[in-house]
């Protein structure tokens, strides 16, 4: 016998006896197919091993909790897709539990407390859902794009001590079946990140950049509903079924492709799929010198648009209207800086800022690089990491210069609106953000920041409305922490302090170093009379922003209405801020 630590996944069929009573042969055939076509391959794909299988469930061992939870999420998402077409009473639903614990291996079998807890955890998950122990939640941290809901300590059958349980609640696990989005009444498309086939991780930015530019170009055409970049890029590095992606994002068409770079040559392949039928509408391969990458992007974009809406083929507007940087290196710097932008690491990390500065050095006329650098400076100001007056001045100068260089670039107006929002100037902020949306109606992040501007102005319901629009455009967004924090801000100015605490808690679970979220969490907890949580929040606030004080909030916090600032200060004061 061998004793070791292992991640255990336990899956159990919901309503097995009922299904067998209704149709024994059909249920057994359906289970056999699900095992062979979905569950077993997914477990193997994530380096797991099934060590026990019963008529209505499986137990599997994984080398890490990340593999186990990622496998569980993909199984439940795929099952939701499989169930979408059939009658509800015949749906095959599993509950899944994941635990990390001490096990004993004897031959091919595994037993012990680690296994027992996993099998009991699955009973705490809703049908189609996933439950994990606190040790799994802690090990996952931010390594997977998932959210957890703390349901507290649970008494589990035949387990001596209560177990702290978390459920996955991000829409791809516990509630997938209810979130199938209706197709818009206009052509709808998701552009997936182009797969890097070069074998060189340094070349990832080529495929990412081409996909992102295609998203931007198609978004400028008002006849299209285009899923935002962040939701499409949630599938990066994964290989889910195209129909599953389309259902999860609520689109008819999906564009996927690959990039292979060899020497000074670049090969790009792309295919456009009608996910409702599985038919390939368009496919093409392009071989070009790397120096022609911008012309190549134009050509792919025009072909995609033409395949979806043939009558637009001859229109001059099919071509990209935003200016491409003259230097490929400048473009590469910008694309490589984007992960720091989307994940808000820019607050504490110089890498993204240095890449943007390098892009401007290489191409002084590159408007997009100036826009993103303005965004980065404003974010640092909002986090108290940059002196207010100088930071806002520099950010606004960069944004205005970007507008001068390329007035048709939505990012230039977005950056200006963002800076205005953080300097208590609602009118110019709304004007510039609407300018961005006129140029790109599918700019989900602009709607998110417009919601933020309304929140700072005390217009809570207007802010919530903009968040709803942003979330429909980008259902699976890397900036979800920002969206949740802005939701918390809107609840705060509306006096819904408990709801504000809940939203901000979810934001900081996703981004533990999200300074502005911690501030609002602390102020809301103070006003909700949850002084223990308020004091915990203040410790985090001071860790992330040592210069935080009542005076700083009064002078620099973006809340426009004096009454809202006074309430915010009172909440922080109750937490112990001086």
Give the pLDDT mean for 221-236.
77
Give this prediction's pTM.
0.58
Domain assignment present for residue 497? The answer is yes
> Is there a single domain that holds both residue 309 and residue 333?
no
- Whether residues 259 and 149 share a domain: the answer is no
| For residue 94, pLDDT beyond 60 | yes
302 and 399 together in one domain: no
Least confident of 60-69, 95-104, 288-297, 548-557: 288-297
* 3-state SS string for 33-73: HHHHHHHHHHHHHCCCEEEEEECCEEEEEECCHHHHHHHHH
Average pLDDT of the segment spanning 303-310? 47
List of residues 6+ apart from 286 with CB closer than 8 A:
266, 267, 268, 269, 270, 296, 299, 300
- Per-residue pLDDT of 471-517, as tens digits, reads 877 666 567 889 999 999 999 999 999 999 999 999 999 888 899 99
**Is 458 among the domain residues?**
no
DSSP character at residue 422: T
Q: Is residue 248 part of a domain?
A: yes
Query: Tell me: the pLDDT tens digits for 430-485?
Result: 999 999 988 877 678 899 999 999 999 999 999 999 999 888 776 665 678 899 99
* Phi, psi torsion values for 264, nearest 5 degrees: -105, 20
Specify whether 93 is located in the same domain as 211.
no
- The residue to which tokens 């059909």 are assigned: 26
Boundary of a domain, candidates 318, 348, 369: 318
Whether the CA torsion 48, 236, 508, 545 is positive or negative: it is positive
Cα 161 to chain centroid distance, Å, stands at 35
Is there a single domain that holds both residue 297 and residue 424?
Answer: no
Share above pLDDT 90 across residues of the chain, in percent, rounded to a whole number: 39
The more confident residue out of 179 and 154 is 154
Q: Is residue 475 part of a domain?
A: no
Look up the CATH number of the domain holding residue 207.
Answer: 3.40.50.10070
**Is residue 275 located within the same domain as residue 162?**
no
Average pLDDT of the segment spanning 271-296: 75
- Asked if residue 448 lies in contact with residue 428, where contact means CB atoms within 8 angstroms, the answer is no
Structure confidence at residue 43 as a pLDDT band (50, 70, 90): very high
Cβ neighbours of 277 (radius 10 Å): 10
* 577/251: higher pLDDT: 577
For the chain, what is the radius of gyration of the CA atoms? 25
The answer on 260 and 211 residing in a single domain is: yes
Q: Looking at residue 59, what is its pLDDT?
A: 94
Q: Which domain holds residue 291?
A: 181-318
Q: Is 448 among the domain residues?
A: no
pLDDT at 8: 95
Where is the domain boundary, 293, 318, 343?
318
Q: Is residue 26 domain-shared with residue 164, that is, in the same domain?
A: yes
What backbone phi and psi angles, to 5 degrees, belong to 163? -115, 130
User: What's residue 478's pLDDT?
Assistant: 62
- Does residue 173 share a domain with residue 108? yes
Stretch 216-239: mean pLDDT, rounded? 76
Check which CATH number belongs to the domain holding 336 and give it: 1.25.40.10
Higher local confidence (pLDDT), 292 or 117:
117
- Contact present, 80 and 128 (Cβ < 8 Å): yes
pLDDT value for 516: 92
Residues 530 and 518 in one domain: yes
**Does 453 map to a domain?**
no
Measure CA 571 to chain center: 30
State the virtual CA torsion across 314, 316, 317, 321 in degrees, nearest 10: 140
Beta carbons within 8 Å of 156's beta carbon, 6+ residues apart: 117, 120, 121, 123, 124, 162, 163
Model confidence at 306: pLDDT above 60: no
**CB under 8 Å to 377, separation ≥6 — which residues?**
386, 391, 394, 395, 398
The 10s digit of each residue's pLDDT in 155-211 is: 788 888 888 999 887 544 444 333 456 777 667 889 998 888 877 776 677 778 778
Residue 366 sits in the same domain as residue 293 = no
Number of domains in the chain: 4
Give the per-residue pLDDT at 307: 47
Residues 427 and 332 in one domain: yes
75/245: higher pLDDT: 75
**What band does 343 get if pLDDT is binned at 50, 70 and 90?**
low
- Give a yes or no: residue 561 inside a domain: yes
Least confident of 21-30, 146-155, 235-244: 235-244
Per the domain annotation, does 476 fall within a domain? no
Mean pLDDT to the nearest integer, 266-289 = 78
Q: Residue 31: which CATH number?
A: 3.30.70.1230
- DSSP structure class, residue 318: G
CA 155, CA 153: separation in Å to the nearest integer?
Answer: 7
Domain end among 441, 471, 496: 441
Inform me whether the pLDDT recorded for 127 exceeds 90: no
């Amino acid at each position: 016998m061998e004793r070791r630590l292992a991640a255990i996944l336990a899956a159990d069929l919901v309503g097995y006896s009922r299904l067998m009573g209704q149709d024994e042969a059909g249920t057994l055939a359906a289970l056999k197919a699900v095992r062979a076509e979905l569950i077993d391959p997914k477990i193997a794909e994530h380096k797991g091993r099934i060590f026990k299988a019963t008529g209505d469930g499986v137990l599997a061992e994984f080398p890490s909790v990340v593999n186990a939870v990622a496998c569980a999420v993909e199984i439940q998402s795929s099952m939701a897709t499989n169930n979408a077409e059939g009658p509800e009473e015949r749906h095959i639903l599993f509950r899944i539990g994941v635990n990390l614990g001490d096990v004993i291996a004897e031959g091919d079998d595994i037993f012990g407390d680690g296994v027992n807890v996993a099998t009991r955890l699955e009973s705490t998950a809703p049908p189609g859902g996933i439950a994990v122990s606190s040790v799994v939640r802690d090990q996952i941290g931010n390594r997977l794009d998932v959210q957890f809901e703390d349901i507290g300590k649970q008494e589990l059958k035949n387990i001596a001590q209560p177990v702290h349980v978390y459920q996955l609640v991000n829409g791809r696990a516990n509630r997938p079946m209810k979130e199938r989005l209706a197709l818009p009444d206009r052509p709808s498309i998701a552009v997936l990140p182009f797969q890097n086939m070069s074998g060189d991780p340094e070349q990832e930015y080529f495929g990412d950049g081409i996909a992102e530019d295609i998203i931007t170009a198609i978004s400028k055409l008002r006849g299209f509903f285009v899923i935002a970049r962040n939701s499409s890029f949630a599938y990066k590095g994964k290989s889910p079924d195209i129909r599953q992606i389309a259902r999860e994002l609520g689109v008819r068409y999906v564009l996927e492709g690959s990039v292979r770079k060899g020497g000074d040559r670049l090969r790009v392949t792309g295919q456009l799929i009608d996910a409702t039928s599985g038919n390939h509408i368009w496919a093409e391969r392009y071989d070009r010198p790397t120096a022609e990458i911008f012309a190549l992007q134009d050509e792919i974009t025009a072909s995609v648009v033409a395949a979806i809406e043939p009558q637009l083929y001859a229109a001059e507007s099919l071509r990209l209207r935003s200016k491409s940087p003259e230097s490929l290196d400048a473009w590469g710097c910008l694309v490589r800086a984007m992960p720091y932008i989307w994940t808000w690491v820019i607050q504490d990390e110089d890498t993204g800022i240095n890449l943007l500065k390098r892009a401007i050095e290489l191409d002084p006329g590159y408007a997009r690089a100036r826009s993103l650098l303005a965004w980065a400076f404003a974010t640092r100001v909002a986090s108290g990491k940059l002196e207010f007056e100088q930071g806002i001045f520099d950010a606004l100068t960069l944004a205005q210069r970007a507008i001068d260089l390329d007035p048709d670039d939505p990012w230039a107006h977005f950056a200006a609106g963002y800076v205005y929002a953080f300097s208590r100037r609602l009118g110019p902020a709304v004007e510039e953000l609407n300018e961005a949306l006129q140029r790109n109606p599918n700019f989900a992040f602009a709607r998110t920041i417009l919601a933020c501007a309304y929140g700072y102005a005390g217009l809570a319901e207007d802010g919530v409305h903009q968040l709803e629009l942003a979330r429909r455009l980008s259902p699976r967004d890397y900036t979800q922490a920002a969206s949740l924090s802005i939701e918390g801000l809107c609840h705060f100015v509306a006096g819904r302090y408990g709801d504000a605490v809940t939203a901000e808690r979810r934001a900081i679970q996703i981004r533990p170093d999200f300074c502005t979220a911690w501030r609002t969490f602390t102020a809301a907890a103070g006003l909700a009379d949850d002084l223990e949580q308020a004091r915990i929040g203040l410790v985090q606030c001071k860790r992330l922003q040592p210069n935080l004080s009542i005076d700083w909030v009064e002078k620099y916090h973006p809340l426009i209405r004096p009454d809202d600032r006074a309430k915010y200060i009172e909440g922080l004061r109750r937490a112990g801020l001086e």
